[in-house]
Structure 1
Amino acid sequence: MDYYVTLSPGLEKISKNEIDEFKGKINEIRENRGRIFFSGDLELIPKINYLSRTIERLNILLYREEIPNISLDDIYERVYDIDWTEWIKEHQSFAIRPLRAGEHNFTSIDIGRVAGEALIKSYQRDKNVRLKVNLDEPDVIVRVEVIFDELIVGIDTTGDVALDKRGYRVFNHPAHLNATIASALIYLSNWKDDEVLLDPMCGSGTIPIEGALMKRNTPPGKFREEKYGFKFVDIFGYGLLDKIKKEIVENKNIYKIIGLDKNQKYLDGAKDNAKSANVLDTIDFICGDATKLHERFSSIDVIIANPPYGIRMGSKRAVKKLYNEFLSSAKNIMHGSSRLIVITAEDKLFKEAVAKNNFEVKDEFNVMFGGLMTKVFYLTL
C-alpha cells in the first residue's frame, strides 16, 4: 500500500528515521516541504498513528499525478475514476478536505465541491447508493490536494486533529512548542538514558514531557486515543490498533530530566501537564533563571531550549541580551560531550551570541513552526 505523511517542514530527515524503524519503504522525500511518500503493509497505519513522535498526519495515497495547467475538470475526472467502494461503506459519511498551493483559476473551496460531486457520482455508479456528506464529523476524510501542478488524493487515517495534539495537555502556554518538533529536537540530541536533560526555558513542559515519554516507551497515541481518536479505526476497526498495543512494553524508570522556568505560573502548568502524562515522577521542575544556570547546576549533558523570540518579548535588544547571557551561562555547565539544541526565529541574533560565546555549530537547519520560519541549531563546545 502507498502512503504519504505530512510533518513540520524541515524535519523530513528525522521523520524518515521513524518510518524506517516502522519498516516503511521510502519512495520520495520532499525536503523542507513537509511530505514523505513511502509504501508498506497495513500495520504502518496503527504504528505511525499510535507510535510516531515526529509525524503529524498519515494518509493512504490513492492517486498522484503531475497535470500541467490542472483544471477542475481534471480533478473531477481523476476522483471519479477511483474505486471508492473499497474505502467507504454504504452507511458511512465522508468529507473532502481540500488544499491548494500555487497559482490557479480556482479556490480550495472549488476543489472540495468538484471532488465531492465526483466521489458521490462515482459511488452511485458502482453501488447505486448516494453517500452522505458530513463536514463536521465524517466517518471518512478524503484529502484532495493541488500542489502547483500536482494532484494528490488520499484517505486520511489520522483525523482532523493532527498527531502533534497528544491529548495530555491540560495547561496551555501562550507559545508552547509543537510536540512533534520537541520530539525531533530530542532525537537530534541523541540523549542517552544515563545523561541529564535540561530545558532551561521549559514553559508548559513540552520538551521534558516528550523526553520522558520517549525514554519510557510510552506511545504518544496513548493519550490522544480517548480524547481525539484515530480516523483509521472507522475504516478498519480496532483489530489493527489492538495488535500494535499488545506489542508495546513501557517502563517506569526514573530519568534525569529538569524543566526550568522563571515563571511559576508556567511551571505549575507544566507540572499539571506532566501529571496528566504520568511522567511527573521523573521530571524535576524548578523555578529559576536561564541566564544564571551556573549558579544552580555544575554539569549538564544535554540542553534543549525553545527561547522567547522577538515577537514574544517585544524588543530585539531584550532578545539579544537574553541569548548572550543564556549561552554564557550554559557554557559554564557544559563539558566536552555536552550538546545544546536551540530552536528560534531570531536566528541572526542567536548566531551573534553563538559567535560571541565561542560555541561550535555542528548543524543548523530551517523548520516551519506554526507558519513561522525558525532555525534549529546544534551546538557543542
Structure 2
Amino acid sequence: MAQYTIIATAAMGLEAIVAQEVRDLGYECTVDNGRVTFKGDEKAIARANMWLRTADRIKIEIGRFKAFTFEELFEQTKKLPWENFITEDGEFPVSGKSVKSKLYSISDCQAIVKKAIVERLKVAYKRIAWFEENGPLFKIEISMLKDVATLTLDTSGVGLHKRGYRAEQGEAPLKETLAAALILISRWTPDRPLIDPFCGSGTIPIEAALIGQNIAPGFNREFVSEQWPWIPASVWEEVREEADQKANYDQPLNITGCDIDHRMIEIAKKNSLEAGLGDLITFKQMQVSDLTINEKYEQSGVLIGNPPYGERLGDKPEVEKMYRDMGRIFSQYETWSVYMLTSHEGFERFYGKPATKKRKLFNGFIRTDFYQYWGKRPKRKERD
C-alpha cells in the first residue's frame, strides 16, 4: 500500500488531545496549530476516520510549496499526481483560504488550482473536452499561509463531529468532538460514575458511553472516501470489523444526564437510542439545585457539564446564582471531580473557589475556559 501524509484537523486547544488519539492508534505524529500530521496507508486513512473522537476532519496532503505568483501556483499544482487520486468522472470542487500571503484573493486561488488540475487530468486521461464530474466526490482545499500553498483532499466528507446519532438537538448544542475532548481531559474511566447536570440533547453522556464501551465514533456513519476506488472496500470492511471486535458492549456504565427542560430530556433519550446505547444512560429532568448523589456512588465520580454562560445580559444574575448553587452542592462530594465549561470570566468567584486547573478551549467561536476541580482520593475501606 502507498504511504500518504495524513492531516487530522483540530479545533484550537484540542491539538494535544487529537495527537494522543493518533498515537494511541499506533502512528507517530507532529503537532501544529489546528492540525496533527502523520504518515500512513489507506488503512490508516480509514482507521483515523473511524476512531478519532476529537478531530474535525481527516485530510491527505497532496502537495506543499511556496507560491508568490498565480503562475507559480498553477505550475506547481499541475506537477502534482492528481490522477492518482481523482477518477476520470470524479467531481472535484476546490475551496480555499489565504492568510498573510501575496496571493490573497481566495476566488482566484481556487480558479487557478481548478484549472491546473483539469489540465493535468486532461493529459492523464487523454481528454480534450471538459470533465463531466458526475462520479465520486473529491473535495480539494487550497490553503495559503505566509506564501506557502498546501493542497489537501478531504477524506471525511461530512465533519467527524456528525456521528449519525443526533436525531434532534437544542438551540446551542455542544459539538460531539468537543464533548468527547472534555471527557478525555477529565480522565474519566468507565468504572466510575459520571453525571452531566446540564445535558441538553445528551451529547456529553452519549460520548461518555461510547468511550466507556470503546465504541468507535465513526461506526454508524459513512465517509466520502468509501466511494473512492483506490481505497478498496476490503479495507473499510476490515476497519469496521476491527471496531466491532474492540467494542466492549458488556462494560457496565453508571452515566446520568440531567436537564431542567423536559423536552431536552426526551430528545436526549431519542439520541441515546439512535446511538445504539439503549437504556445504558439514565436521563432525569432536574435543576442543578436539586442534585443529590447516591451515597453508594460517593467514592469517586465525575461531574462534567456545559452550563449556561449568561451571554445575554438579562440571563447573567440567574446564571451567577446557578454557579453559586453548583459550588455549594458539589463541594459536599469531596471525592468527586468537577469539570465545567463556560465563557463566564467570573465563574470561579461565583462557584466559591479557584479551579485546580483551567484550560482555554473554543466552543464554536466562543472562547471558553474548562474549569477543573479535582476531587480528594477516597478513603480506603478498612478490612474487618
Contact 1:293 1:333 in 2 (8 A): no
Contact 2:137 2:224 in 1 (8 A): no
Is 1:367 the counterpart of 2:365? The answer is no
Give the match for residue 215 of structure 1.
Answer: 212
1:118 to 109, 116, 119: 116
Alpha-carbon deviation of 1:213? 1.2
Alpha-carbon deviation of 1:40? 2.4
Give the match for residue 46 of structure 1.
Answer: 46
Change in Cα spacing, 1:145 to 1:281, as seen in structure 2 (3 Å) is same
Contact 1:72 1:106 in 2 (8 A): no
Alignment of 1:144-223 (within 5 A): 144-159=142-157, 161-223=158-220
Contact 2:8 2:18 in 1 (8 A): no
Give the match for residue 274 of structure 1.
Answer: 272
1:244 to 234, 239, 242: 239
Alignment of 1:63-82 (within 5 A): 63-67=63-67, 70-82=68-80
Change in Cα spacing, 1:104 to 1:288, as seen in structure 2 (3 Å) is farther
Separation in 2, partners of 1:193, 1:369: 25
Unaligned runs of 5+ in 2: 376-384
Alignment of 1:132-147 (within 5 A): 132=131, 134=133, 139-147=137-145
Contact 1:254 1:281 in 2 (8 A): no
Separation in 2, partners of 1:7, 1:233: 24
Is 1:307 the counterpart of 2:307? The answer is yes
What per-residue deviation string (whole Å, max 9, x for no partner) do you get for residues 283-305 of structure 1?
A: 010111113324x5443610110
Separation in 2, partners of 1:79, 1:17: 33
Separation in 2, partners of 1:209, 1:313: 31
Give the match for residue 29 of structure 1.
Answer: 31
Residue type of the alignment partner of 2:131: K
Give the match for residue 17 of structure 1.
Answer: 20
Separation in 1, partners of 2:239, 2:165: 21
Separation in 1, partners of 2:52, 2:291: 33
Alpha-carbon deviation of 1:128? 2.0
Is 1:62 the counterpart of 2:62? The answer is yes
Give the match for residue 230 of structure 1.
Answer: 224
Separation in 2, partners of 1:313, 1:302: 31
Alpha-carbon deviation of 1:380? 1.8
Residue type of the alignment partner of 1:16: A
Alpha-carbon deviation of 1:9? 1.1
Alignment of 1:93-108 (within 5 A): 93-102=91-100, 104=102, 106-108=104-106
Separation in 1, partners of 2:284, 2:234: 43
Change in Cα spacing, 1:247 to 1:17, as seen in structure 2 (3 Å) is same
Alpha-carbon deviation of 1:104? 4.9
Separation in 2, partners of 1:374, 1:213: 25
Q: Find the residue that maps to 1:223 and give its secondary structure.
A: coil
Contact 1:3 1:39 in 2 (8 A): yes
Change in Cα spacing, 1:352 to 1:146, as seen in structure 2 (3 Å) is same
Contact 1:80 1:119 in 2 (8 A): yes
Give the match for residue 316 of structure 1.
Answer: 316
2:125 to 121, 127, 130: 127
Separation in 2, partners of 1:328, 1:369: 26
Residue type of the alignment partner of 1:24: Y
Residue type of the alignment partner of 1:244: V
Separation in 1, partners of 2:217, 2:194: 20
Contact 1:92 1:131 in 2 (8 A): no
Residue type of the alignment partner of 2:237: D
Contact 1:302 1:339 in 2 (8 A): yes
Give the match for residue 290 of structure 1.
Answer: 288
Separation in 1, partners of 2:327, 2:105: 47
Contact 2:101 2:144 in 1 (8 A): no
Separation in 1, partners of 2:309, 2:355: 22
Residue type of the alignment partner of 1:273: N
Change in Cα spacing, 1:260 to 1:312, as seen in structure 2 (3 Å) is farther
What per-residue deviation string (whole Å, max 9, x for no partner) do you get for residues 193-221 of structure 1?
A: 22100000000000000111111222211
Change in Cα spacing, 1:17 to 1:215, as seen in structure 2 (3 Å) is same
Alignment of 1:343-358 (within 5 A): 343-346=341-344, 348-354=345-351, 356=352, 358=353
Contact 2:6 2:45 in 1 (8 A): no
Deviates more, 1:280-289 or 1:123-132: 123-132
Residue type of the alignment partner of 2:164: G
Q: Find the residue that maps to 1:281 and give its secondary structure.
A: coil
Alpha-carbon deviation of 1:360? 4.1
Separation in 2, partners of 1:63, 1:40: 16
Separation in 2, partners of 1:137, 1:369: 36
Contact 2:9 2:58 in 1 (8 A): yes
Query: What is the aligned-residue RMSD (CA, Å)?
Result: 2.2
Give the match for residue 379 of structure 2.
Answer: none
1:7 to 1, 10, 17: 10
Residue type of the alignment partner of 1:329: I
Deviates more, 1:80-89 or 1:199-208: 80-89
Contact 1:100 1:107 in 2 (8 A): yes
